[in-house]
């Protein structure tokens, strides 16, 4: 197995005023199959993806994995959250992140709080999203069934079966996406990937192989 390089850095995002912190893992071979952007929930940061091995696992599978600290959180506390700038701002925010990191079309992994950014981005910039992996995100109820039906992006909906609130609410809305699969993680709560990293990594890699 080729060695994996994990680095840290910052990326300038105009809407945030200050740079965002990120962690990145790339295959040692330098050959990259997919670019994967990992977001996080309100109590979390990019460090979680480092600790449970998601960055390393993705890079070992041949992908470029980048986990950012969202504005106002983690090591990006000085960055301003773009939500207040206007309703198109959350989608434009992720477009600026992807451009700054030169990610191209991304696989977007979006748990919990990060749904406020990922869902507008998916609707406004669908051509920039190669695949979407929502993990019980918020804001799914702010989008109509018709809007969901218009999105053709391959989607893997993941949630823990102990997450009876956001997990089930988000599923009932996200299943309006026409090109989706569902993975229910048994015995796992809201941050299901933390409860069972092994099942999470297998589900994610199996899905990426289909792209």
Query: Is 5-209 in CATH node 3.10.580.10?
Result: no
Average pLDDT, the chain: 94
Q: What does the pLDDT read at residue 187?
A: 97
How far apart CA 152 and CA 172 sit, in angstroms, is: 18
Domain-wise residue ranges, the chain: 5-209
Give 104's pLDDT tier (boundaries 50, 70, 90).
Answer: very high
Distance of CA 81 to the CA centre of its chain: 17
Q: What is the pLDDT averaged over residues 119-143?
A: 96
Q: Which two tokens stand for residue 191?
A: 């941050």
Q: Which two tokens stand for residue 186?
A: 């048994």
138 touches 115 (CB < 8 A)? yes
Q: What does the pLDDT read at residue 88?
A: 67
141 is catalytic: no
Q: What is the pLDDT averaged over residues 84-109?
A: 87
Distance of CA 162 to the CA centre of its chain: 21
180 is catalytic: no
- Annotated active-site residue in 76, 190, 195, 201: 190
169 touches 140 (CB < 8 A)? yes
- Annotated active-site residue in 128, 163, 195, 196: 163
Q: What is the pLDDT averaged over residues 93-119?
A: 96
Residue partners of 81: CB distance under 8 A and separation at least 6: 16, 70, 71, 72
DSSP state of 209: T
190 is catalytic: yes
For tokens 């979407």, name the residue.
132
Q: What is the pLDDT averaged over residues 150-158?
A: 97
Please state the pTM of the whole predicted model: 0.96
Is the pLDDT assigned to residue 55 strictly greater than 60? yes
Helix axes of 115-124 and 89-100: crossing angle, nearest 10 degrees: 80
Q: pLDDT tens, 184-211?
A: 999 999 999 999 999 999 999 999 999 9
- Annotated active-site residue in 35, 45, 46, 112: 112
Q: What does the pLDDT read at residue 33?
A: 96
Give 86's pLDDT tier (boundaries 50, 70, 90).
Answer: low
Residue partners of 33: CB distance under 8 A and separation at least 6: 61, 62, 63, 208
């Amino acid at each position: 197995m080729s060695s994996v390089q994990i680095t840290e850095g910052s990326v300038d995002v105009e809407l945030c005023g200050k740079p965002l912190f990120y962690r990145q893992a790339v295959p040692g071979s330098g050959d990259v199959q997919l670019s994967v952007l990992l977001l996080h929930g309100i109590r979390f940061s990019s460090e979680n993806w480092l600790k449970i091995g998601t960055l390393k696992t993705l890079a070992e599978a041949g992908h470029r994995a980048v986990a950012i600290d969202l504005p106002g959180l983690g090591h990006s506390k000085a960055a301003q959250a773009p939500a207040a700038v206007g309703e198109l701002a959350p989608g434009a925010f992720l477009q600026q992140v992807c451009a700054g990191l030169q990610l191209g079309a991304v696989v977007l992994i979006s748990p919990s709080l990060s749904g406020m950014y990922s869902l507008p981005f998916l609707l406004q910039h669908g051509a920039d999203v190669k695949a979407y992996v929502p993990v019980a995100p918020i804001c799914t109820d702010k989008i109509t069934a018709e809007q969901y039906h218009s999105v053709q992006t391959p989607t893997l909906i993941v949630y823990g079966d102990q997450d009876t609130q956001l997990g089930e609410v988000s599923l009932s809305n996200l299943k309006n996406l026409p090109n989706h699969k569902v993975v229910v993680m048994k015995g796992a709560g809201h941050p299901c990937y933390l409860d069972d990293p092994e099942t999470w990594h297998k589900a994610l890699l199996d899905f990426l192989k289909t792209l």
